[in-house]
Amino acid sequence: MKTLKWLLVVLLIASSFGCFGVLISKDDKLGMTGGYSELAAHMEGQIKDQSSADTSKLFPLCSAYSRLKEYNKLFPCLDQLEKNIAAGDRTTGRIDGVDVSAVPSLLRAEAYIDFGNYDAAVKQATKAYDILQQIKGVYLGPPFNSPARMRIQAAGTLALAQALKGDRAKAEEALRLLADVDISFPLNLLKTDKLVGQSKVYMALGDFQRSLAIIKEDEELDWFRGVGRPVVVSLFGIGLQGEDVIAWNQLPRAFILNKSLYETGQTQEAKAGYDKLLAMPQTKDNGDIYWLILFDRGKIAEKEGNLKEAIDFYQRAIEVIERQRASINTEASKIGFVGNKQQVYHALIRALITEGQPAKAFEYVERSKSRALVDLLASKKDFAAPGANQQQVAALLTELETQEAEARVQNAERVRGSRASEVKQRLKSVAPELASLVTVAPVSAANIQSLLQPDEALVEYYYEGDDLYAFIVTREGVKGVKLEGAKLVDDIRQFRAALKQPQSQGYVTPAQKLYARLIKPMEASLHQKEMLIVAHGVLHYLPFNALQNGKDYLIDRYSIRQLPSASVLQFLKGRQASPTARVLALGNPDLGNPKYDLKCAQDEVVAIAKDFPQAKVLVRKEATKTAFKTLGPQFSYLHCATHGQFDPNKPLNSGLMLAKDAQSDGFLSLGELYSMRLNADLVTLSACETGLGKISNGDDVVGLTRGFLYAGSNTIVASLWEVDDQATSHLMEEFYAQLKKGNKREALRQAQLATKKKYEHPYYWAAFQLTGKI
């Protein structure tokens, strides 16, 4: 009876595909067999202009982009599909046409999960499910296009988003919606989709035993996979040439089965299953699972003691992740996309250090950390490219976007061989700094070594979880040191809180504790007098100069500068300082509220300007954004004594508060800086929290300092906390006096040491740090 039941299913499915001997459509075949790269290319060939394409063509195209994780193409495709649906073109158009009104919301929900935006995913999945509940009628087409399958996807996506948010109750409520979807004959094959949806949720909740038990319920479909496929191929001539006719649901099933086996300690079974999946060409086209399989295989190889094989798997997984992320067009989505994918970088870096390859590990640290700025800027097109033909740069950016979009995200060989790499090289030759922002260009450790000052050591930190590493890079070599990372965030938070209490000595213990953790283990390798620090994560909020060993502060022994990433060195090398120090000083702008007044800041800019013959001072109503943008490019020193505003959720909206005028609202945002061209040798931001930036998922910090670096400033001096008005005025006057001796890094150090003599507590002198060129 069981065989007869499945034979009837096979007959009905085969007849719905085209009836006895008639080939199913090519897009259906490619969708069923998981050939999403070919499906996308095929549909792109069918569509000359998406704005005039009908839904029957847009639907498979958007679906392919979704599976490939080509987000830059997915969202415009979904936008057009929504327009078609609103205009009444709601179905796939054939006799078996299905209403696809829910598809835009459904695929958006899945993408938002990838981006870590679970609230948006819940909203879109709920919308999709509600639309699907209104769709009635009989459907006789391929099951992977059916309304029932879409209901399963919507309910499963909703449950997964709730699980990832940490709301188990709502996740289980959505699972009940999933269970209620009717998959009675002839839709029995959709049982796999139901079980896959349920298993994903329990995986997200960390219950792999239950996930494994659920996915194993699907074994009764093995008859169809073993017998039904050749029956369909031989009886109905659908031309699948031995490919898996149900890859659309069996690849996810196989991944979940092997992932659950791996997480429940059945490593050898998982290894064999993963190897089979990696041997299938369709696996590379499934963006949901490909990098995850590579990552787990790397972990298995590492457990088996085969570090070389593990490193290879980790490197391949990172290539996939970076290609996927490169196709995302929105700033928040790019940062959120990293999510748990930072675990792959972490595993690779750890393995490389264990394998005795600190220089290679350092290169991947740079590759993982310096992505935030690239991610934030990917959607901007109004870049200022120093020294380049702006029309040529704009044309290259457009061409690069086109070429990268056309290269299949999951096909590494096609990506490497595509014209996109040629365009990147051309962009690099005409605008190297801009090329570093919009392309992934791995840094060479040897190149970084050659750019260091003769008596300078670069100390770069990297941490993930409780693992903390420091890399000491000098002209002679690269060393890696494992440090104690447990409760690092707590220690820094305690230190910063103590620093903001200038009447207390409570900062001493955490300052010594952090010194012992972050500096002491590598003291023997720090023979240089100058230190270049590349922080990571919460370490960006740490005033290194205030760390102490019980006798003296770090600033007493080292002249310190910072960089957001070591790769910035290559762009600072060719920048020349102006022979004449012309100062533009804006202080105490009129912000329309007395609470923002900074009387000492006004005195500060006046005092600084006295020492420079070519100086222009703008205070109160004259200290406008318009004045800064108009006059800024004409001066070599820019000094802003005003308030800063930091938006952790939208970093490009962070900025400086200047006075309003008829042309602007007075707010100079970080986003605007990336479209400006300055010629400043030094920018001093004597304001509140101007050195802060967003830290998310292990990505590098993004703040005003980096914006000014890109705009053309050689050096930025900025604060880490709300500074004391009077002490800052003293420090800044001393800083500019010391600047006449030439070295900006040493000038700031001497100004801080001088301020420390007058105001002993680090609260008064340690907030400022120098980023960039010395």
Amino acid 648: pLDDT: 62
What percent of the chain is modeled with pLDDT above 70? 77
Q: Is the pLDDT of residue 524 over 70?
A: yes
* pLDDT digit string, tens, across residues 127-184: 999 999 988 766 555 666 678 889 999 999 999 999 999 999 999 999 999 999 888 8
Amino acid 543: pLDDT: 94
pLDDT of residue 391: 73
DSSP SS3 for 381: coil
**3-state SS assignment for residue 56:** helix
| pLDDT, greater one: 57 or 721 | 57
- Which tokens sit at 481? 């040191």
Which residue type does 407 have? Answer: A
Q: What percent of the chain has pLDDT over 90?
A: 44
What token pair was written down for 546?
């205030």
- Give me the sign of the Cα torsion angle 158, 163, 167, 169: positive
pLDDT at residue 7 in the model: 43
d(CA 82, CA 108): 12
CB 480 within 8 A of CB 486: no
Both structure tokens of 180? 């209620």
Tokens 């029995």 found at: 188
pLDDT at 2: 46
Burial of residue 467 (CB within 10 Å: 0-12, 13-18, 19+) is middle
Name the more confident of 105 and 429.
Answer: 105
Lowest average pLDDT, out of 6-10, 436-440, 723-727, goes to 6-10
State residue 342's pLDDT score. Answer: 81
The encoded tokens of residue 442 equal: 């791995």
Provide mean pLDDT across the span 22-37.
68
Confidence at residue 645, expressed as pLDDT on a 0 to 100 scale:
77
Q: What does the pLDDT look like over 567-593, one tens digit per residue?
A: 888 777 666 766 677 899 998 898 888
Max Cα–Cα distance, the chain, nearest Å: 98
- Name the residue among 726, 732, 740 with its Cα closest to residue 612: 740
Greater confidence (369 vs 557) lies with 557
Name the helix (H) or strand (E) containing 587: strand 583-589
Among 696, 629, 695, 71, which residue's Cα sits nearest to residue 330? Answer: 71
| Dist. CA 477–CA 460, nearest whole Å | 14
DSSP code at position 476? S
Q: 70 near 41, Cβ under 8 Å?
A: no
More confident residue, 624 or 774: 624
Distances (CA, A) of 733 to 357, 607, 737, 754, 770: 46, 7, 6, 11, 16
Q: Is 121 helix (H, G, I), strand (E, B) or coil?
A: helix
Are 713 and 678 in contact, with CB atoms under 8 Å apart?
A: yes
The mean per-residue pLDDT over the stretch 206-216 comes to 93
- Determine contact, residues 92/59, Cβ cutoff 8 Å: yes
Confidence grade of residue 726 (pLDDT, cut at 50, 70, 90) = confident
Torsion of CA 19, 20, 23, 28, to 10 degrees: 50
- pLDDT of res. 18: 41
- Residue 595, phi then psi, degrees to nearest 5: -65, -20
Structure tokens at 554: 């770090």
Rounded Cα–Cα distance for residues 568 and 431 (Å): 14
Beta strands in 535-577 (DSSP E): 559-562
Q: Using an 8 Å Cβ cutoff, are 415 and 323 in contact?
A: yes
Distance CA 204, CA 116 (A): 13
Specify the pLDDT at position 198. 94
Distance CA 654, CA 688 (A): 12
655: β partners: 645, 669
Mean pLDDT of 392-418: 55
- Domains plus CATH for the chain? 2-288 (1.25.40.10), 325-438 (no CATH), 445-570 (3.30.420), 575-772 (3.40.50.1460)
Task: Decide which of 434 and 378 is more confident.
Answer: 434
CA trace torsion 683, 687, 688, 691 (10° rounding)? 10
- The b-or-e profile of 59-88 (16+ CB within 10 A means b, else e) is bbbbbbbbbbbbbbbbbbbbebbbebbeee
Phi/psi zone of residue 139: left (φ > 0), alpha (ψ -120 to 50 degrees), beta?
beta
pLDDT average, residue stretch 193-219: 90
C-alpha 565/C-alpha 550 separation (Å) is 30
What is the DSSP secondary structure assignment for residue 224, as one 8-state letter? I
Q: How far apart are CA 611 and CA 617, in angstroms?
A: 12
Each residue of 301-342: pLDDT tens digit?
Answer: 999 999 999 999 999 999 888 777 666 544 344 444 545 678
Counting every residue written for the chain, the total comes to 774
Of 5 and 526, the structure prediction assigns the larger pLDDT to: 526
Contact 470, 518 (CB under 8 A): yes
* Predicted local confidence at residue 698, as pLDDT: 39
Tell me, what's the pLDDT at 432? 74
* pLDDT score of 434 more than 70: no
**Amino acid identity at 741:** K
pLDDT of residue 64 exceeding 80:
yes
Decide if 680 contacts 668 (C-beta within 8 A): no
Return d(Cα 208, Cα 215) in angstroms, integer: 10
Is pLDDT at 701 greater than 60 in this prediction? no
pLDDT(242) > 60: no
Q: How confident is the model at residue 201 (pLDDT cuts 50, 70, 90)?
A: very high
Written in H, E and C, the secondary structure of 592-659 is CCHHHCCHHHHHHHHHHHHCCCCEEEEEECCCEHHHHHHHHHHCCEEEEECEEECCCCCHHHCEEECE
Residue tagged 């209403």 (tokens)? 99
How far is the C-alpha of 247 from the C-alpha of 286, rounded, in Å? 10
Question: How does pLDDT run across 75-112, given as a tens digit for each residue?
Answer: 999 999 999 999 999 887 655 568 899 999 999 999 99
pLDDT digits (tens, 9 = 90+) for 600-637: 788 888 888 888 888 899 999 999 999 999 999 999 99
Per-residue pLDDT tens for 644-658? 877 666 667 788 889
Q: What is the pLDDT of residue 76?
A: 93
On whether the CB atoms of residues 536 and 700 are closer than 8 A, the answer is yes
User: How are beta strands 530-534 and 456-464 bridged, if at all?
Assistant: parallel
- Tokens 């060719």: give the residue: 574
**Residue for token pair 């220690």:** 491
Q: Give the Cα separation of 109 and 161 in Å (integer).
A: 9
CA of residue 538 relative to chain centroid, distance: 17
Q: Given this model, what pLDDT does residue 661 score?
A: 92
Q: What is the dihedral of CA 221, 225, 227, 231, to 10 degrees?
A: 120
Q: How confident is the model at residue 238 (pLDDT cuts 50, 70, 90)?
A: very low
The amino acid occupying position 118 is Y
pLDDT in the model for residue 31: 67
Entry pTM: 0.78
- The phi, psi pair for 185, rounded to 5°, reads -45, 130
Residue 656: both structure tokens together? 């400086």
Tokens describing residue 640: 């802003």
Residue 422 has pLDDT above 90, yes or no: no
Q: In the structure, how many helices (H) and strands (E) does the chain have? A: 38, 16
| Cα distances (angstroms) measured from residue 291 to each of 63, 279, 340, 536 | 19, 14, 12, 25
Angle at 251 between CA 245 and CA 254, to 5 degrees: 120
Candidate ranges 37-46, 428-437, 566-575; pick with highest mean pLDDT: 37-46
Tell the burial category of 521 from Cβ atoms under 10 Å away from its Cβ (0-12, 13-18, 19+): middle
Mean per-residue pLDDT over the chain, rounded: 81
Half-sphere exposure of 188 (CA within 13 A, CB side): 18
Tokens 């847009």 map to which residue? 58
What's the mean pLDDT in 550-561?
A: 94
d(CA 512, CA 506): 11
Spatial neighbors of 210 by CB under 8 A, at least 6 apart, are 202
